Structure 1
Amino acid sequence: MMLPLEGIKVIDLTRILSGPFCTMTLADLGADVIKIERPSGDDTRQWGPPFVEDESAYFLSVNRNKKSVVLDLKKEKGKEILKDLIKDADVVVENFRPGTMDKLGIGYEELKKINPRIILASISGFGQSGSYAQKPGYDVLAQGMGGLMSVTGDPSGTPVKAGYSVADIGAGMWAIIGILTSLWERQRSGEGQWIDAALLDTMISWQTYLAGNYFATDKNPKPLGGAHPNIVPYQVFNASDGYFVLAVGNDSLWDKFVETMKMESLREPKFKTNPDRIKNRELLISILNDVFITRTKNEWVELFEYSGIPCGPVNNFSDILNDHHVKEREMVVETNHPTLGLLRQLGIPVKLSRTPGKITSTPPEQGEHSEEILKRIGYNEEQIQSFIEEGVTSIPEKNSSTV
C-alpha cells in the first residue's frame, strides 16, 4: 500500500525542533526526506543527557524516517550538490535566520530558477518580514512575546512558559499545513511558492478567544492557574492524593454536576448559570476545594465519569505513556534500531483510514546516506571520495571502506 505522500521529495535543511518536527511528519506520511546536515551535524545530536548509548534522546525524538547527507554549504561544491538535489525536489524546508538562504546563494528566487515547481517552507522566530525579522527565534521568546506566558501559571507567581516547546512545534505544524496546501495548489498552477511560518505568529494565532476577550473589553487577560477565563468550573482541582481536571462546559452539565454532588449550596441562584458562576468564581471554587480534598483523584474521576461529566486525572508522563488507551491508539510504538536495539517512540497522531502513515526507518546516523544519495544524483565513487577528502561531505567511519 502506498503512503499518502509517497513520491514527494523533501530537502530538509532544518535543525533543532520546529523544522525537524515538520519534516518528520512529512516523512511519516511517506515523503522522501533528505536531511542535509553540516559537518558538525544537527545541534541536537549533542543535546544531552539523556543519551541512548551515544545517541541523543532529543535528536531521536524528531528525526526518524529520514536520510542523512552531510554537506558543507560554505563550500561551493556543497552548494552545487545541494542545487543538484533540488532540481527534482518538491519541497525545501529551512529554519535559518531570515536572509541566510540568500547569503548562501540558495534563496527562493535562486531556487525558482533551478526548479520553478519548488515549494520553499521557511520557519523562523518572527517571520521573513517586519521589524523583528532579524531577532533570534527561540521558543521561550515566542511564548513570552506572544502573550502565552502572561496567562500561564499561578496568578500570584511569575510568568511561566508551557512545559514543552509549543511555539516550535506549532510553527512546524503551520509549515506542514502550508506545504500540503501549496502541493495541492501547484496541481492547478504548476508553480511552487514560498511559505513563511513564524513562532510569534503561531502564538498569536492560538490566542483565539483570549484575544476576542481583549478586543471586546480592552482588558488584558490574566493567569488563572488551571482555570478557564470564560467557563466555571473548568479547571484543575486538588484531591487528597493529587490533581484532576473537571470541565463543566455548559449549564446542562452543571445541573448534572449539582445532582451528583448532592450539595444544596450549589443550587443557589448565584451559581445557576455560567455568567453567575463566573461572577461568583472565588466563592464557588472555595466551596468545591473544601470538598474535593476529601477524596482521591480516582474516586472523583470515577464518580463524575459515571454521571457523564467530563473529567480526568492530571497525568505524569509515566502515567500517560503507559496508558492502555494510548497504546491502543498506537501513540507509543517500539522500533528496532540497528545499534540501539529496541527504541520507544511516540506514534503518528494523524490516523488515515486507507493510507495511514508508517515508521519505516529509525533516526539516521550523521551522513549515513551521503554515499547513497550522491550516487543517486549521478556522482561516482571517485568523486564522492574527493568530496570526503575536501570536507564537502562525510560518511560514518564504519562505512568509509565502501567508497
Structure 2
Amino acid sequence: MKGTLAGMRVVDFSQVAAGPTCTMMLADRGADVIKIEAPTGDLGRQLGPPWQNGQSVIYMALNRNKRSVMLDLKTDAGIQAAMQLIVDADIVVESFRPGVMQRLGLDYETVRPLNPKLIYCSISAYGQHSPDAGKPGVDGIVQAVSGLMSVCGVAGGEPSKVQAPVIDMTTGILATLAVHDALLHRNATGEGQWLDVSMYESALQLQQTSLASYFSDREVPQPCGSGAPYSAPNEAYPTQDGWIMIAAYHPKRWHAFCQLLGLQEFENDARFHTSNNRVQNRLELAEIVAPAMQRKTTKEWLPIFEASDIICAPVANYDDVVASPTFAEGQYTESFIQKDAGRIEFIRPYSAGVVAQRGGGGVRPAPALGEHTEEILSGLSTLEAQRVQNNEDHERNRL
C-alpha cells in the first residue's frame, strides 16, 4: 500500500526521541525523511544499554526509513547546505532549544520567504515562548515538572516515573498530528505554518482526566499504585503466584466479585457500598480482598472472573506479552537487518488498524551516520532557482 505521505520531503534536525518519533511516523507513511546529523551524530546514538554489536537499539528503533546527511552547522558550508535542503522541503522538524535555529539563520521567519508553503515544526521541552524556553528538558524531567511523577508509584513511596518514555512518545505523536493538520491547511490555502509543539504541553494532555478532577475540587492527588483514583476495585491484587488487574467497580460486577471471593458480608458495608466509598477506603478494601485472592493462582482465577463478566487481566511482563495469542494474532512486530548490528525487531509502524498494512515489510534500517550525504547533497537545486519557483507557485495559489 502506497504511503499517504509519498512524495513529501522532510528535513529532520531533531535528536534523541521526541522529534525522531515524529519523523519516524512521517517516514513510515512514505515521506522522504532526511536526517541532519552533526559530525558527532545524533545524541540518540549514545542511548543505551542495550547495545547490539556496539549500536544503540533505541536509536535504531526510532530512525528506521530515514536517510542521514552529515552537516557541520558550525560552518558556512553546512548552513548553506541546510538552507538548500529546507528550501526544497515540504516539512522541517527541529528540536533545538528555542533560539538556536534563529542564531543559525535557519528559523521559520528567515526561511519562509524562500519557501512559503513550508510546514516548520519546532519541538522543545517547554515551548517557544515559555518563561522556561531556554531550559533543557528530557522525558524524566518533564514527567517531574508536569506533575505526572507525583501521581505515579505507591502512597508514601518515593517519586516514580513511567518507565516507558511516555512524554517523548506522546510529543512525537502529537507533533505528527499537528503536521497532518498543517498539511490539510496547506492543501486548502497553499500556506505553510510554524508549529510549536512542547513536551510540557504533551505531558498535560496525557493528564486530561487527572487535571480536570483537580480543577473541580482542588485536592492534590496522591499516588495510589495500580489503583484508579476515580473507581474501585480497579487495581491489581496479588494471587497465589502473581497479580491480576481487576475492574469490578460497576454495581453488578462488585456484587459478583464479592460472591466469588466469599466476601458477601462486605458488599453492603458502609465503607464499600459504592465505588466512591471504596475509593475513599481503598487500603481497607485491599486488606480484605488480597488474602481472598491469594487462595488461587492467576490461571485459576481468570476463567472464574471472566465467566461472571468481571473485567480482568494478568499483570504481564514482556515475556508474557510477546508469547500471548493476542500479540501473535496482531502481527505487531517487524524486523530489519542493520549493518554491523544484525537483526533488529521492533513494533511495526502504526497502521490505524488497516489490515492490508499488517506485516507489510519493506522497512529500511536506520541509516549510518552520514550514509546518504553525497547522494542527497549532489541533487540539490540552487537557492535562487528554488526561490523563483516557490514564489511562482505561491502567486499561482493566491490567484
> Is the 2:336–2:363 Cα contact (8 Å) retained in structure 1?
no
Stretches of 4+ aligned residues off by more than 4 angstroms? none
Q: In the alignment, is residue 376 of structure 1 matched against residue 369 of structure 2? A: no
Cα 1:283/1:51, change in 2 over 3 Å = closer
State the distance in 1 between where 2:180 and 2:90 align.
Answer: 11
Displacement of 1:272: 3.5
- TM-score, structure 1 length as denominator? 0.89
Q: Distance in 2 between matches of 1:169 and 1:242?
A: 29
Q: What's the counterpart of residue 45 of structure 1?
A: 45
Q: Distance in 1 between matches of 2:225 and 2:355?
A: 42
1:387 corresponds to? none
Deviation at 1:265, TM superposition (A): 2.0
Residue 11 (structure 1) shift: 0.6
Deviates more, 1:86-95 or 1:303-312: 303-312
Greater mean deviation of Cα atoms: 329-338 or 156-165: 329-338
Determine the C-alpha separation between the residues in 2 that align with 1:354 and 1:278. Answer: 41
The aligned counterpart of 1:353 is 354
Q: What is the distance in 2 between the residues matched to 1:354 and 1:183?
A: 25
Number of corresponding residues: 379
Cα separation, partners in 2 of 1:187 and 1:143, compared to 1, 3 Å = same
- 3-state SS in 2 of match to 1:16: coil
User: Does 1:362 pair with 2:365?
Assistant: yes
Cα pair 2:125 2:142 within 8 Å, conserved: yes
Q: Secondary structure at the match of 2:201?
A: helix
Determine if the alignment matches structure 1 residue 91 to structure 2 residue 91: yes
1:3-402 to structure 2, matched below 5 A, reads: 3-270=3-270, 271-353=272-354, 356=357, 359-377=362-380
Give the letter for the 2:367 counterpart. Answer: P
TM-score calculated relative to the size of structure 2: 0.90
Please give the alpha-carbon distance, in whole angstroms, between the structure 1 residues aligned to 2:29 and 2:303: 38
- How much has 1:129 moved relative to structure 2? 0.7
C-alpha spacing 1:215/1:35, structure 2 compared with 1 (3 Å): same
Of residues 357-366 and 63-72 in structure 1, the stretch that sits farther from structure 2 once superposed is: 357-366
User: Match for 2:322: what amino acid?
Assistant: L
Letter in 2 for 1:40: T
CA contact (8 A) 1:90 1:119 kept: yes
Could you tell me which runs of 5 or more consecutive residues in structure 1 were left unpaired when the two chains were aligned.
380-403
Helix, strand or coil at the partner of 1:220: coil
Q: What secondary structure does 2:323 align onto?
A: coil
Identity of aligned residues (%): 36
Post-superposition CA distance 1:187-237 (Å, at most 9, x none): 111111111111111112222222122112111011111111110000121
Give 1:275 shift. Answer: 2.2
Aligned-pair distance for 1:47?
A: 2.7
What's 1:390 paired with?
none
Higher alpha-carbon deviation: 241-250 or 152-161? 241-250
1:204 match: secondary structure:
helix
Question: What secondary structure does 1:191 align onto?
Answer: coil
